Amino acid sequence: MSSVQKPDSFQETVFKLKRYWADRGAIIQEPYDIEVGAGTMCPETFLRVLGPKPYRVAYVQPSRRPADGRYGENPNRLYKHQQLQVILKPSPDDVIDQYLGSIEAIGIDLKKHDIKFEEDNWEAPTLGAWGIGWQVMLDGLEISQFTYFQQCGGMDLDLVPAELTYGLERLSAFLQGADSVYDMDWAPGVRYRDVRFADELQSSVYNFEMADVDRLRRLFDEYEAECKRLLGLYDEKSAKKQRFPVLPAYEQVLKCSHLFNLLDARGAISVTERVGVIKRVRDLAVGVAKIWADQQA
């Protein structure tokens, strides 16, 4: 690559990362079609890491964090950011080298840059999940989280997966030398702003100002009730247990989780309530994980 060449657009960087992981045996999934706070919550991660079957997958997941919305005014903070999520189960011995290879693959000559792995263990109380790992720093910029999963859905894992997540906006802004994510190119000639600004602005207005708290609460209760109803119907001794809709049950959990985040951003969750609501979501997630694992066994 010559130094005068225009840097890759956002989508070009995404293509290269997907290609890189596809070449290493990962299935390239498409984003999950229900709101999630992070790529980890998609069934492709949360459920696939359970059980004894090896799996490799990569996907871009738009991840929604209502409280992080800034009306499109903050150059680095977004309500919905794009995460590239990679799961390598089990993690190969040279997993870090493979990860570094992906960074080289998008045009960063690591001999000319400073890479550090700084301790950062991950925990998701709503999922009963935790792992050991690092944040990866590139010239002082956190570009990735690297986690060896240890537990998920409250269960120890048979095969230890490595989870690599890339903050795509950060990485692409770095490559393009842009001080604001809105100024970088999504595609040649099309800015990130053109694609995403309205979403950021309007979602912030809704999340912070207009979301109907009472209705969100009712929705939370409804999704929770539907999930509980389903979980109560599972019979582990049934010969037809493979037909049991554990994936649809999990979708109710994701709905609950997102509603909780919305209520939280709206300032509607009181001190005493908070711990209780997190526990309600975790209980559902743990219930789903157990059934999934039982179906896989």
Partner 1 sequence: MNFLLEIGTEEIPHWMIPGALAQLAKFDVLGEVLSVDATPRRLVLRATNVPERTPEDQLIVKGPPISAGEKAAAGFAKKQGVELSAMQRVGDYYELRKLVPGRRGIEILAESLAAAILGIQWPKTMYWVGGQSGGKSGPRFIRPIRWIVALLGDEVIPFEIAGVKSGNITRGHRQLGSSSIPVTIKNYESELRKNFVILSSDERRKKIESEAKTLGANIDADLLETLTFITEFPTAIRGNFDSSYLGLPAEVLTTVMKHHQKYFSVESAPGKLAPYFVAVMNSSGDPDGLVKHGNERVLRARFNDARFFWDVDQQKPLADRVEDLAKVTFHVKLGSYLEKTNRVVAIVKELNGGPDAERAALLSKADLTTEMVKEFTDLQGVVGGLYAKAQGESAAVSRAIYDHYKPLSMDDSIPETREGQIVALADKLDTLRECFRIGMVPTGSKDPFALRRAAQGVVKILAGTPIDYNFLNLFEGDLRNFMLERVEYYLRDVCGYRYDEVSAVLANPLVTLDRARVHLDKVVQLRSAPEFESLVRSYKRIDHILKQEYFAQGTPFDFLLLEPGPEMDLHDAYMALSGRGATIEEAAATLRPLLDTFFEKVMVVVPDERVRLRRLALLYNVQKAFSWLADFTKLVIAGEQK
Q: How far is the CB of 141 from partner 1 (least distance, A)?
A: 5
**Nearer residue to partner 1 within complex by CB, 51 or 287:** 51
Q: How far is the CB of 271 from partner 1 (least distance, A)?
A: 4
Residue 91 engages partner 1 in binding (rule: CB under 8 A): yes
Instruction: List Cβ neighbours of 251 (8 Å cut-off, separation of 6 or more).
Output: 34
Q: Which stretch binds partner 1 (CB under 8 A): 27-35, 106-114, 188-196, 282-290?
A: 106-114
Q: Which stretch binds partner 1 (CB under 8 A): 91-99, 203-211, 217-225, 228-236?
A: 91-99
The alpha carbon of residue 50 and the mean position of all alpha carbons in its chain are separated, in whole angstroms, by 17
Largest CA distance in the chain: 65
Residue 2 engages partner 1 in binding (rule: CB under 8 A): no
Residue 74 engages partner 1 in binding (rule: CB under 8 A): yes
Query: Which residue from 53, 113, 215, 218 is in contact with partner 1, where contact means CB under 8 A?
Result: 113
Touching partner 1, residues 44-63 (CB under 8 A): none
Instruction: List Cβ neighbours of 146 (8 Å cut-off, separation of 6 or more).
Output: 96, 99, 117, 133, 134, 135, 136, 162, 163, 164
CA distance 285 to 278: 11
Cis check for the bond before 248: say yes or no (omega within 30 of 0): no
Token pair recorded at residue 281: 């979501």
Residue 4 engages partner 1 in binding (rule: CB under 8 A): no
In terms of DSSP H, where are the helices of 86-154?
A: 95-105
**Nearer residue to partner 1 within complex by CB, 255 or 290:** 290
Touching partner 1, residues 246-285 (CB under 8 A): 267, 270-272, 274-275
Token pair recorded at residue 33: 């079609």
Residue 76 engages partner 1 in binding (rule: CB under 8 A): yes
**Nearer residue to partner 1 within complex by CB, 177 or 189:** 177
Residue 237 engages partner 1 in binding (rule: CB under 8 A): no
What does the angle CA 142 – CA 192 – CA 88 come to, to the nearest 5 degrees? Answer: 45
CA distance 155 to 251: 20
Residue 189 engages partner 1 in binding (rule: CB under 8 A): no
119 conformational bin, left if phi > 0, alpha if psi -120 to 50, beta if neither:
beta
CA distance 65 to 80: 6
Residue 118 engages partner 1 in binding (rule: CB under 8 A): yes
Tell me, what amino acid is at 75?
P
Q: How far is the CB of 130 from partner 1 (least distance, A)?
A: 10
Q: How far is the CB of 255 from partner 1 (least distance, A)?
A: 24
**Residue 150 DSSP SS3:** strand
What one-character DSSP code corresponds to residue 206?
I
Q: Which stretch binds partner 1 (CB under 8 A): 27-35, 37-45, 73-81, 288-296?
A: 73-81
Residue 216 engages partner 1 in binding (rule: CB under 8 A): no
Touching partner 1, residues 127-186 (CB under 8 A): 132, 134, 138-141, 148, 150, 156-160, 174, 177, 179
Query: Which residue from 7, 31, 62, 90 is in contact with partner 1, where contact means CB under 8 A?
Result: 90
Packing angle, helices 271-296 and 213-233, rounded to 10: 30
The alpha carbon of residue 173 and the mean position of all alpha carbons in its chain are separated, in whole angstroms, by 19
**Contacts to partner 1 by CB under 8 A:** 74-77, 90-91, 93, 96-97, 100, 110-119, 121, 132, 134, 138-141, 148, 150, 156-160, 174, 177, 179, 267, 270-272, 274-275
